[in-house]
Amino acid sequence: MTLGLRRRLLVMLIVPLLLLAVINAWYEYRSADNVALRQDQGLLALVPLMADSIVAEGPPPVLLLAPAVQQFLKDGPGHAAYAISDPDGKVLHGEPWLAALPPTTREPEFRTEEHGGVAWRIVRQRQHTVLGDVVVALADGSDPRQQWARSVLFRVLLPNVVLVIAAAFAVRWAVERALKPLLDLRDALERRSPRDLSSIDETASPDEVRPLVQSLNRLFGLVDAQAESQRRFIADASHQLRTPLAGLQAQVEAWAQAANAPGQPGGTLQLPAEEVNKLRGAARRTSQLANQLLALSRADARTMQAQPMQPVELKALCETMLETHLDAAAAKRIDLGLDAQPVQVTGHDWLLRELLGNLVDNAVKYTPAGGSVTIRCGQRGTQAFVEVEDDGPGIAPEERQRVMERFYRVRGTQGEGNGLGLAIADEIARVHHAQLQLQPGVGGRGLRVGLSFPGPEKP
């Protein structure tokens, strides 16, 4: 991690430095070009003065150097030279190496030539003197263009190389210092026990790392909630299934002993229908309990927060529940009705199906024969709702909060049950950011259990 960040930071620093070096080199080149242009203009200004310095014929011609020419030759010993040639290119006075083809016109000619390891800037021009037409050549060995490469090397490249090396050490130090909280966080997580899902101290992290710590804490919370849900499920299952399974095992063991008793013909056993029905009822109760425990575990609100919700049609859901429980209601001569209006909510379809199924199942189970149960859904104001109302015995106000606890049953309740139906419904309601409401039915009779879904958020 540190190596990758160090490399990226180094590249981010080197690229601007190289860009600055290129810009600096361009400015240096432009500056040298301007100086060279001024040098050319200075050399050209000295050419007529050099021609006027010829005062008599020779050989060699007699020169009386103008002060400006004399100063030029004096200031640049070894880097200043001149030559006076006839129109045929023969040097009459000055440096022989400046001999060249004479200009064909009176326009000045500028050249850069190499001589003695020095790059000379040379101007040649025809001039009229006391000798007639001659070619005057002036050479300057201090050509700024020659100095440009050296200037770029010492003023641009070397300083930037030093800066890059310094930046590499600075980046290494800065990255290690800046990433120390992240590295400490990594070490702390690596030292943790797999069972330790406690939150990380956010105050010990810098502001830049705090969102990461908060995300990790949320993840730990979800994982811990899921683990806690599994632990609760295992504890509930082992506690609640022990008794019915023990009863089934005892009954089957008794029948097995009777079948294997001496004198039992063929090892067969005849059972009365009542005993078989009891066994079937016990198996059904055990199966229902296992299914409800699984539903309760899957509906845990803490573990469902990360699951996406989808649009759910409540009317279609109510119609499905009506069809599912119609036979059970008809067996008890219960009038199972439907009062449903088209309405759509955002939620988990299978959870809402489980919730409504538990409510209808409880209503049909505890409503006396000949009673009525009504399934409703629709819209009240801005909120969608679904509810199940019956005219059964109802629940006393002081018991309405406790009946949503796991495995709690109201004293004196008739019929089979595990005390999980309303607990499951309440858990599903909290998953949908709602609250299960228990109220008396019409005329104070029976029970109306409803769920109102939050309305749309105001912009």
pLDDT score at 233:
58
d(CA 304, CA 430): 10
Say if residues 440 and 448 touch (Cβ distance below 8 Å).
yes
Predicted confidence at residue 273, as pLDDT, reads: 74
Give the pLDDT band (50/70/90) at residue 459.
Answer: very low
Q: Name the 3-class secondary structure at 344.
A: strand
| Long-range pairs, 317-322, Cβ under 8 A, ≥24 | 317/349, 317/352, 317/353, 317/356, 317/377, 317/386, 318/356, 318/375, 318/376, 318/377, 318/386, 320/353, 321/353, 321/356, 321/357, 321/360, 321/375, 322/375
User: How many helical (H) and strand (E) elements, i.e. helices and strands, does the chain have?
Assistant: 10, 14
Tell which wins on pLDDT, 17 or 426.
Answer: 426
pLDDT in tens, 272-312: 777 777 677 667 666 665 665 666 555 554 555 556 788 99
The answer to whether 438 and 403 have CB atoms below 8 angstroms apart is yes
Which among 97-101, 186-190, 292-296 has the top mean pLDDT? 97-101
Which tens digits make up the pLDDT trace of 23-60? 776 776 677 667 777 878 888 888 889 888 888 887 78
Q: Closest by alpha carbon to 319, among 306, 337, 298, 303?
A: 337
pTM equals: 0.44
Nearest CA-CA partner of 367 in 341, 340, 336: 336
Count of CB atoms within 10 A of residue 39's CB?
Answer: 18
- Would residue 236 be called left, alpha or beta, if left means φ above 0 and alpha means ψ between -120 and 50 degrees? alpha
- DSSP helix/strand/coil, 380: strand
Q: Quick check: helix, strand or coil at residue 24? A: helix
First-to-last C-alpha distance (Å) of the chain = 42
